[in-house]
Amino acid sequence: MNKMTPTDLESMEDSEPVFQRMGLPGYDEAFDDNGRVRSHWAGVMSRFAQMSRGELQLRSDRLARRTREAGIDYDIFSDPSRPSQAWLLDLMPILIAAAQWRWLQTALTQRARLFDAILHDVYGPQKTLKKGIIPPELVFSDPTYLTPCRDILPKAGPLRFYAADLARDDNGLWRVIDSHTETLAGLGFAVANRVIHSHVVGDVMRGCNATRLAAFSQNLQNALSRHAGSENARIAVLTPGPQHQDYFSHAYIARYLGYLLVEGGDLRTRGEQLCLKTLEGLQDIDLVVRCLDGRNMDPLELYTTRLAGPAGLLRVNRDRPNLVVNAIGTGIVQNRGLGMHLGRLAEELLGEELMLPDAPRNWLGDSNDQRYVLENLDRFVIRNAQEGTGRPGQAMLGQEVRSMTSEQRDLLVRSIALDGSRLVAEEELGFSHAPVWQNDKATSRPFAIRFFVAHTGERYEVMPGGLAMSVDRGRAVALSTVDGHTRDVWILGEQDQQPHFSLWRPRLENARVERSQRVIQSRVADDLYWIGRYQERADWTMRVLRSAYRRISEDSGPSTEDLGAVHRCLSGMLADERGPVKRPSGTNIDVVEGMCSRLLSGSTSWRTLSVVCENLYRCANLARDRLSFEAWHTLSLFRPGDEFMNELSRATSQGAILDMLDVGLRWLSAFGGLTHENMTRNYGWHFLNLGRRVERAYNLSEVLANLFADVTDGEDEMSALRLVLELADSFITYRSRYRIDPSLPLVLDLLLLDQSNPRSLAFQLTEAMRDMSAFPSDKPSADLSEARGLLASALDEVRQADVVAMATPVGRKRLAELVRGQLVSLPQFSDALARHYFNPVEDMPHRVHTRSEAAP
Amino acid sequence: MKFEVSHRTTYRYSEPVVHSQHLVHLAPCSVANQRVTRHGLEIHPSPNRRVDWRDTFKNPVTFLEIERSHKELVLHARSTIETSAGIPTLPARTTPWDALDAALATGGTIDLDVVAYRCASHATTASLDIADYTRQSFPTGRPVLEACTDFMRRIYADFTFDAKATDVSTPISVVFAKRRGVCQDFAHLTLAGLRAMRVPARYVSGYILTHPPPGQPRMQGADASHAWVSVWSPEYGWQGLDPTNGIAAGEEHIVIAQGREYNDVCPISGVLLGGGEHSVDVSVDVAPLP
């Protein structure tokens, strides 16, 4: 392919068109054989032709930035040694002309109807199996065929979601290369791509009259509400969790459609109900949109070794067949071996001729096919018949026989003889190609498209768009992308488009639904509480580091007294065991700097800034469907592997570190402001706030213990007072109030007792009490009483403090007791809170069973 | 023969179980040569919900949900069963194992209830080694029941019963490598081999009458639940083969449930919230009645 690339476009005359025929093998989407632009591409081409190369690159960069900000990326918590692959969205769309689209719509909905009919037969009367139109062993060998669903699926209504991967062969004919009937198959990626693309090239899109997605999505929404039984139905998207590669897509589509995003652990069956574990107890769920493989949906009746879905779901589902879409068991029709039988099945079940066939394949469970393939082995690629849900672009490449050693071939031949019913053989297939703008250059790349079909109540509809991915023509037989390069798919309309309306703005009739769904899962409350804690911990740690670096990098050269307070503060934070901090001896810049770099990123302690930031990002990622986009963006600064976090571990110059700390603090305060201004004051917000209050109270108590528990000389105490005012961001308040140098009683008054100072201990504890009283309390427990009691007595202690007496040398003992008491009771409070609201015991279901072991 | 079977299972938990759900296959079913005259299942603590139905393999199954906090769960099944010896088989007269395709599709209709058991399931997927081991009993054209009986006897001869060698999740590849296991392991291994040859074979869960050493009385509760396989031939339909004992199943074998593998017919399985560590005590007594 490389030798076909054109001469360097940069050296060409400006009058030369940016995009032109490349003469690559395969059908050219944009140019005919004479190099003329095909008519449906003319509009887009002329609009891009009006842009300078600089403009094209600018927009391309903006797409990359937006993609990154949206967070479409590979899971960052998986193996860090694996190079992470970015999701790339090209400036150029794939275009489908109106007439072509009409044909594709008919053909794709026919396939959806066909799969629906096959499913109802295979889980119902099984006529097609009895007659051998579908080889029974193809079905019975496939682990996605779930026999316990035979009394459920036929009553569950039509197959709801179907996605098809299409490629165009060298004659320009569309062929289906894979079908997906198990889950939503990356619908969220396609919608996200469209939203981002329309932000950057919306003008071109409008100019070309590309069809919008909103009408389709709205029909889908309405259909799902009807299927669930009411307009107020509580609908949940069930995801395997953030460790799953498609988690972004699950979270995105849940948010886009306005549904709850839940994990298996959030759900429980009880009697005839499927329930969500919320802060207010168990609440009924009316419909589950599953993004989990069918066989993992119920550990009691299905695949028993994984606890992914809620145990007992099938039993509930048996009485309420509408409860789950796609119905459990639908994965069977994505079996690749079915492809060659679809023509006959269409005749038999629909009485129609199949419009859009699969790419040619041989199912190796058939003895004739097996013999033919073994005789011509070099021509084939061998693949699993059933591949599971498959992330878009991640289809397995298969075993290419011609590049095998003779030992590998022998093994393959034996495997085919044994396991043929689980394998297919396919020949290479053509892919068409279309223009892209990559690395500052126009070129053309082969691709395949995933189209999405959904049943919207009366009929099947195809989403007017899709997810196109660039493939390697030499290797791919399915949607396997090597570099994560994707494209939006524009369907060119014949009529003018309806005015733009987006699902992000709910209409009046579904606003009510929205509100009723604002329940909080216990798990999410837990995550939000820890976002609050980590946010505050990161903020505090950055302030400590900033103060320390400022002191050691001052031009005038610091006095040792000045560093004494910083030293005590740092060594207190770095000490794993809490206890009286020893007076440092021989303080010098090197020691303090060493401590700073340990606190910055040099250790793995829970106090280390890089660890704190990583944890903050992790929790934010877990609860991101509860954060606004802006709030999420501010925290995505701390994504491991990104610039900020890399700099944090690399930076050595004090100036650079100070700059970074300033940046970090600004983003954290932006996040604080966003949650303060933009978040509804629901339970979630109160948990976030509570986390902050607890953490701030803890840090403040700790620094007071480290700096003032023991009496020090006047000069040192003065620098300690300045430090603590700086850390608590209360210097200006103090100055404006007292206009004298800091004195301990006044500082203690400001930082312990002053309820109007948002940095004082009394303020934190009062706010925490307020948050606690906002929570549901209809289920009293010993833990809840303990948590409330701990908080109330902590506040009492603070309020009764006599700051004047505590400031005297003899009163210091009392001060130390007070703040160290807080350091004990705050963690106890946090634990009791978790026991009551977050239910750690219940999160771990496990299985018991007996085995048969009669002796001979 | 007539039997009274008592099957008592006791779970003890170190922490209270707050919610539990169980699937129970403990009710013997009336199948060929077997009649169930009485069956009862006692559960303590008594469940908040109990649902009885037939699963897709036509076995009776019971669902239990217990919402009260408990640290001990007892399930006690008692059944009275009558069995009779089937008609004697002539294995050498059965259809060759490699000619079953035609026999499975008569009059243009494929017998799905049989074909389903030709396909490997999760726990019965054979490795190439297991397939090679099996093939020695399956020369071209050998009558299917003769080949299966030979294969079953080889497993009996080559493998040692050892309850410590495996547990409920041990894959058959390990059983095959160690040449050790319990009846459930031998049943799975036999099924894997037979299905690699595309012979229809199913898993049978049940009981077997044990005989005390001569001159000694029967020990109460010392029996256990048992497992064996059942293979299909056009001549005799399903015929039980017991690789743990090296014999064909007869009137001393009592069938509870049949499926593709253990997981389809597991006597008791459950998912719990809470419970901590658990121990389980099973006491089975198969008493012949006069």
Using a CB-CB cut-off of 8 Å, the residues of chain B touching A131 are 108-110
Q: Pick A850's closest partner by Cβ from B9, B56, B207.
A: B9
Query: Percentage of chain A with pLDDT > 70?
Result: 88
A780 — pLDDT class (breaks 50, 70, 90): confident
Distance of CA A799 to the CA centre of its chain: 44
The tens digit of pLDDT for each residue in A138-164 reads 999 999 999 999 999 999 999 999 999
Q: Provide the pLDDT for residue A737.
A: 85
Residues B227 and B95 in one domain: yes
DSSP A501: -
Residues B142 and B253 in one domain: yes
Using a CB-CB cut-off of 8 Å, the residues of chain A touching B67 are 270
Residues A251 and A363 in one domain: yes
Peptide bond into A326 cis (omega under 30): yes
Q: What are phi and psi of A256, to 5 degrees?
A: -65, -40
Reading the block at residue A126, the tokens are 């099984």
Residue B41: give its domain's CATH number. Answer: 2.60.40.2250
Cα separation, B223 vs A247, whole angstroms: 50
Question: Among A516, A544, A559, which residue terminates a domain?
Answer: A516
Cα separation, A410 vs A382, whole angstroms: 14
Decide if A668 is inside a domain.
yes
Residue B194: give its domain's CATH number. Answer: 3.10.620.30
Put the strands of the sheet holding B201-208 in their side by side order: B247-248, B237-242, B226-233, B201-208, B253-259
In the predicted model, is pLDDT for residue A515 greater than 50? no
The tens digit of pLDDT for each residue in A244-274 reads 778 889 988 998 888 988 988 889 898 899 9
Residues B117 and B252 in one domain: yes
In the predicted model, is pLDDT for residue B190 greater than 80? yes
Residues A783 and A801 in one domain: yes
**Whose CA is closest to A560, among A581, A582, A596, A585?**
A585
Reading the block at residue A632, the tokens are 């999420």
Query: Percentage of chain B with pLDDT > 70?
Result: 100
Decide if A820 is inside a domain.
yes
Mutate to test the interface with B, among A275, A335, A407, A853 (most CBs of B within 10 A): A853
Decide if A28 is inside a domain.
no
Q: Pick A300's closest partner by Cβ from B182, B269, B280.
A: B269
Residues A259 and A334 in one domain: yes
Mutate to test the interface with A, among B111, B119, B168 (most CBs of A within 10 A): B119
Cα separation, B148 vs B152, whole angstroms: 6
Residues A106 and A163 in one domain: yes
Cα separation, A206 vs A212, whole angstroms: 10
Residues A465 and A346 in one domain: yes
CA distance A406 to chain B (A): 17
Q: What are phi and psi of B131, to 5 degrees?
A: -65, -40
CA distance A136 to chain B (A): 7
Reading the block at residue B38, the tokens are 């009485």
Residues B145 and B240 in one domain: yes
**Whose CA is closest to A312, among A327, A323, A301, A320?**
A301
Non-local (6+) Cβ contacts of A371 within 8 A are: none
For chain A, the average pLDDT equals 86
Residues B50 and B141 in one domain: no
Cα separation, A597 vs A648, whole angstroms: 10
Q: In chain A, how many domains are there?
A: 2
Decide if A773 is inside a domain.
yes
Residues A534 and A505 in one domain: no
Cβ contact, residue pair B119, A421, below 8 Å: yes
Decide: A133 and A344 in contact? Cβ < 8 Å.
yes
**What ranges in A490-559 are assigned the alpha helix state H?**
508-516, 522-552
**Whose CA is closest to A138, among A347, A417, A423, A346?**
A423
Instruction: State whether residue A16 is helix, strand or coil.
Output: coil
Q: A319: nearest CA in chain B? A: B51
Residue range A316-328: mean pLDDT, rounded: 96
Dihedral sign from CA coordinates of A349, A351, A356, A357: positive
Cβ contact, residue pair B112, A414, below 8 Å: no
The tens digit of pLDDT for each residue in A687-743 reads 999 999 999 999 999 999 999 988 777 788 888 999 999 999 888 888 888 888 888
Cβ contact, residue pair B267, A311, below 8 Å: no
Residues B217 and B115 in one domain: yes
Reading the block at residue A352, the tokens are 């129609």
**What ranges in A78-212 are assigned the alpha helix state H?**
98-122, 127-130, 136-140, 187-207
Residues B186 and B281 in one domain: no
CA distance B108 to chain A (A): 6
The tens digit of pLDDT for each residue in A192-217 reads 999 999 999 999 999 999 999 989 99
Residues A505 and A632 in one domain: no
Q: In chain B, how many domains are there?
A: 2
What is the DSSP track for A564-630?
HHHHHHHHHHH-SS-SPPPPPSS--HHHHHHHHHIIIIIS-STT-HHHHHHHHHHHHHHTGGGS-HH
Residues B211 and B102 in one domain: yes
The tens digit of pLDDT for each residue in A683-694 reads 889 999 999 999
DSSP E strand boundaries for chain B: 2-24, 34-44, 49-54, 60-66, 70-83, 105-106, 109-110, 160-161, 180-181, 201-208, 226-233, 237-242, 247-248, 253-259, 268-274, 278-289
In the predicted model, is pLDDT for residue A558 greater than 70? no
Q: Provide the pLDDT for residue A394.
A: 67
Q: Provide the pLDDT for residue A472.
A: 82
A413 — pLDDT class (breaks 50, 70, 90): very high
Cβ contact, residue pair B118, A140, below 8 Å: yes
B136 — pLDDT class (breaks 50, 70, 90): very high
Residues A560 and A440 in one domain: no
Residues B228 and B278 in one domain: no
Residues A232 and A201 in one domain: yes
Cα separation, A185 vs A466, whole angstroms: 12
Reading the block at residue A735, the tokens are 């100055």
SS3 track for A359-385: CCEEECCCHHHHHHHHHCHHHEEEEEC
Residues A588 and A477 in one domain: no
Decide if A164 is inside a domain.
yes
**What ranges in A123-186 are assigned the alpha helix state H?**
127-130, 136-140
Question: Among A472, A490, A516, which residue terminates a domain?
Answer: A516
Cβ contact, residue pair B267, A151, below 8 Å: no
Which of A357-387 are b and which e, b meaning 16 or more Cβ less than 10 Å from the residue's Cβ?
Answer: bbbebbbbbbeebbeebbeebeebbbbbbbb
Non-local (6+) Cβ contacts of A738 within 8 A are: A746
Which of A439-459 are b and which e, b meaning 16 or more Cβ less than 10 Å from the residue's Cβ?
Answer: eebbbbbbbbbbbbbbbbeee
In the predicted model, is pLDDT for residue B211 greater than 50? yes
CA distance B280 to chain A (A): 8
Question: Among A516, A531, A551, which residue terminates a domain?
Answer: A516
Q: Which range marks the domain in which residue B197 is found?
A: 91-257
Task: Tell me which H or E stretch contains A168.
Answer: strand A161-168
Cα separation, A214 vs A464, whole angstroms: 9
DSSP A350: I
CA-to-CA separations, A735 to A409, A739, A763, B224, in angstroms, rounded: 82, 5, 20, 83
Cα separation, A305 vs A849, whole angstroms: 12
A849 — pLDDT class (breaks 50, 70, 90): low
Instruction: Establish, for the pair of chains A and B, how many residue pairs have beta carbons separated by less than 8 Å.
Output: 152
Q: Pick A854's closest partner by Cβ from B57, B115, B223.
A: B223
**Whose CA is closest to A121, among A132, A133, A129?**
A129
What is the DSSP track for A475-492?
T-SSSB-SS-EEEEEEEB
Decide if A25 is inside a domain.
no
Q: Provide the pLDDT for residue B83.
A: 95
Q: Pick B112's closest partner by Cβ from A136, A311, A856.
A: A136
Decide if A340 is inside a domain.
yes
Name beta bridge partners: A278: A281, A521
Residues B111 and B240 in one domain: yes
Residues A505 and A528 in one domain: no
Using a CB-CB cut-off of 8 Å, the residues of chain B touching A300 are 21, 23, 269-271
SS3 content of chain A, % helix, strand, coil (to 5): 50, 15, 35
Residues A598 and A746 in one domain: yes
Q: Which range marks the domain in which residue A625 is found?
A: 522-842
Using a CB-CB cut-off of 8 Å, the residues of chain B touching A853 are 163, 182-184, 224-225
Non-local (6+) Cβ contacts of A197 within 8 A are: A63, A89, A93, A205, A488
DSSP A200: H
Decide if A6 is inside a domain.
no
